[in-house]
Amino acid sequence: MRLILSILVLVTALSAGGGTWAADGAQIFVELKCGMCHKPDKKAAAISLAEIVQTYSDKAKLVKFFEGQMKPLIESEKWGMMLGQLEKIKTLPDQDKEALAGYILSFR
């Protein structure tokens, strides 16, 4: 009886999450080493996440940028440093791009 109950609780908890395993944007950010250049709120090798979200207000736009369908919005002579990164981001599955965008937008 206890076992059945705990299985029930587990199933309920899983379906409450929408039934899918959400991709973790923070983890993708770490795995792709974006943080080497982009720090949360201070300029490092590149602009901070806080600065990025000042330009990117919505997730759809950021995802479009990650898909390589949009020119960069922030002017920079250092843009070349980001190009190789964008190639990596482009190969991510859609839900990972969304999660990554969501994570960056959480620094608003």
Region of 39 (left: φ > 0; alpha: ψ -120 to 50; beta: rest) is: beta
Region of 19 (left: φ > 0; alpha: ψ -120 to 50; beta: rest) is: left
Could you tell me the end-to-end alpha-carbon distance of the chain, in angstroms, rounded to an integer? 47
Task: Of 17, 3, 104, give the one whose Cα is nearest residue 56.
Answer: 104
Q: Does 79 bind ligand HEC (CB under 6 A)?
A: yes
Q: Does 65 bind ligand HEC (CB under 6 A)?
A: yes
Which of residues 4 and 77 has its CB atom nearest to ligand HEC in the complex? 77
Q: How far is the CB of 76 from ligand HEC (least distance, A)?
A: 3
Contacting ligand HEC (CB under 6 A), which of 7, 33, 60, 87? 33
Taking the C-alpha atoms of residue 40 and residue 38, their distance in angstroms, rounded to an integer, is 7
Q: How far is the CB of 58 from ligand HEC (least distance, A)?
A: 13
For ligand HEC, the binding residues (CB under 6 A) are 32-34, 36-38, 45-47, 52, 65, 72-74, 76, 78-79, 81-82, 85, 88-89, 100
